[in-house]
Structure 1
Amino acid sequence: MNYRHAFHAGNHADVLKHVALLALCDALTTKPAPLFALDSHAGRGLYALDGNSAMRTGEAEGGIGRLLAEAPKHPAITRYLAAIKACRAAHGPASYPGSPWLLAQALREQDRIAACELQPEEAAQLKSNFADDPRVAVHARDGYAAIKALLPPRIGATRFNRGLVLIDPPYEAQLEEFDSAIGALREALTRWPQATCALWYPIKLRRSLQPFYRRAAALPAKSSLVAELLVRADDSPLRMNGSGLLLLNPPWQLDQTLAAVLPLLARALGESPAASARVEWLVTEGR
């Protein structure tokens, strides 16, 4: 696998993913019971937007760059930008946090995080980045296999009844990646039925995702929600026109938060008049 997220850090997909991730964490931490979060494809957890990789693509300019220049007014966006500010205060003015860093920032002392990364160089940097945080366990292993090994979560005498499984694969295998992802979600829900699960996916041609939506709706979750952000029309197979999150067992009222914030992000980050947002239930509890 040759994918390196450093080339894409801070782009429009990261903005969607990370705004939603922080909203998820904030909703889950309203109750005092400890949480467990599994990040299956964690990367290195921290990126430099002035590094060669990020500068080569310039993708961050169309994502976090635009949002920092003129941020729409919404609590979820303010929350996200506050996390960026905290990351830059700690690591330098061009730093950008990956999902493990955001999880560590949003979760509490009693919570635990398992961050998995298969690529040796990325895993070594991930471990270095969190060497001083006892809440974060770094696993240099395949994230899909980790779902079987680490769920249901138990650390010492603590059983975690609530938490999050985040699956953010590179999609190097294109649509075939959905086979692995759907299987991993089914495994996660079988082992830990009360978990909230989030799967990120790219959007090129939306119509090609119809089989994925059908399979997602058949997963053993009480409720299933999709949240999508498109920065241009979804009719070109040559590049990523947007991305989405499949959210299984999402917290109460998360759909309302995302329905309010995603259109603001579409206007702020859109690269054509066809930019759009969609928040839609595939399955609602009780059906």
Structure 2
Amino acid sequence: MNYRHAFHAGNHADVLKHVALLALCDALTIKPAPLFALDTHAGRGLYPLDGNSAQRTGEAEGGIGRLIAEAPKQPAIARYLAAVRACRSVHGPAAYPGSPWLLAHALREDDRIAACELQPEEAGQLRQHFHADPRMAVHARDGYAAMKALLPPKIGATRYNRGLVLIDPPYEAQLEEFDTALAALREGLARWPQGCYALWYPIKRRRALQPFYRRAAALPAKSILTAELLVRADDSPLRMNGSGLLLLNAPWQLDETLTAVLPALARTLGETSAAEGGLNWLKRPD
């Protein structure tokens, strides 16, 4: 696998993913019972936006850079920007938090996090960043396989009945990645049916995703929805024009939060008049 997220950290896809991840964490932590979070493709957890990789692509300028400059007042966006500022107060003004950092920031002392990363160098950096956090277990292994090994979650004598699984693969296999991801979701739901699951996916041409939507709608979850952000028209197979999250068993009122967030992100991060953000139910809760 050749993918390195350092080239893309802080771009519009990260903004969508991380705004939604924090909203999901906040919705789950309303209840006092401890949570378990599994990040299947965790990366290194922290990225320098002034580094060579990020500077080579400049993608963060159209993502977190633009969002900080315009600072929309929508509460979930403000929550995300506050988390980025908290990260930078510790790690420097050019730092950008990956999903493991945001999970550690949003979850509580008695919650537990498992972060998986297959690439040895990235896993080493991840372990270094979180070596002092007793809540975080770093696994240098395939994240899909970890879903079989780590679900349902039990750490010591504690069984975790609540929590989330974030699946954020690099899609180097293009559309074939959806087959792997959907199979992993089905496996996860069989092992931990009460968990919340979030699968990130890129959007080039939305019509190419219709088979994915149909198959996702058939998963055995209580509820299934997509939250998508396009920054330009989805008319080219050669570039990522937007991205989305497939959300299974989303907590109560998360849909209302995202319905308010997505148009605000489209207005701020959109590159053309075709930019849009929206939520779509594939299966509504009973």
TM-score (norm 1): 0.99
SS in 2 for 1:68: helix
What amino acid sits opposite 1:106 in the alignment?
A
Q: Distance in 2 between matches of 1:152 and 1:110?
A: 17
Q: Aligned residues, how many?
A: 286
**In the alignment, structure 1 residue 120 sits paired with structure 2 residue 120:** yes
> Equivalent residue for 1:41?
41
What amino acid sits opposite 1:29 in the alignment?
T
What amino acid sits opposite 2:76 in the alignment?
A
Question: 1:78-117 counterparts in 2 under 5 A?
Answer: 78-117=78-117
**In the alignment, structure 1 residue 155 sits paired with structure 2 residue 155:** yes
> Equivalent residue for 2:13?
13
RMSD: 0.4
SS in 1 for 2:169: coil
> Equivalent residue for 2:165?
165
> Equivalent residue for 2:230?
230
What amino acid sits opposite 2:253 in the alignment?
Q
What amino acid sits opposite 2:270 in the alignment?
G
> Equivalent residue for 1:246?
246
Give the Å deviation of 1:134: 0.4
**In the alignment, structure 1 residue 199 sits paired with structure 2 residue 199:** yes
Q: Distance in 1 between matches of 2:255 and 2:209?
A: 21
SS in 1 for 2:131: coil
Give the Å deviation of 1:73: 1.0
Q: Distance in 1 between matches of 2:75 and 2:208?
A: 33
Unaligned runs of 5+ in 1: none
> Equivalent residue for 1:282?
282
Q: Distance in 2 between matches of 1:67 and 1:193?
A: 35
SS in 2 for 1:96: strand
Unaligned runs of 5+ in 2: none
> Equivalent residue for 1:218?
218
Give the Å deviation of 1:249: 0.2
SS in 1 for 2:32: coil
Q: Distance in 1 between matches of 2:263 and 2:245?
A: 15
Q: Distance in 2 between matches of 1:151 and 1:43?
A: 20
SS in 1 for 2:71: coil
Q: Distance in 2 between matches of 1:238 and 1:93?
A: 33
Q: Distance in 2 between matches of 1:103 and 1:73?
A: 23
What amino acid sits opposite 1:219 in the alignment?
L
Give the Å deviation of 1:92: 0.5
TM-score (norm 2): 1.00
Q: Distance in 2 between matches of 1:254 and 1:93?
A: 30
SS in 2 for 1:133: coil
What amino acid sits opposite 1:28 in the alignment?
L
What amino acid sits opposite 1:161 in the alignment?
N
SS in 1 for 2:43: coil
**In the alignment, structure 1 residue 137 sits paired with structure 2 residue 137:** yes
What amino acid sits opposite 2:265 in the alignment?
L
> Equivalent residue for 1:177?
177
> Equivalent residue for 1:31?
31
What amino acid sits opposite 1:280 in the alignment?
N
What amino acid sits opposite 2:139 in the alignment?
H
SS in 2 for 1:171: coil
What amino acid sits opposite 1:244 in the alignment?
G
What amino acid sits opposite 1:262 in the alignment?
L
Give the Å deviation of 1:216: 0.4
Q: Distance in 1 between matches of 2:60 and 2:66?
A: 8
Give the Å deviation of 1:71: 1.4
Q: Distance in 2 between matches of 1:178 and 1:90?
A: 37
SS in 2 for 1:24: helix
SS in 2 for 1:2: coil
Q: Distance in 1 between matches of 2:183 and 2:280?
A: 22
Q: Distance in 2 between matches of 1:50 and 1:255?
A: 35
SS in 2 for 1:232: coil
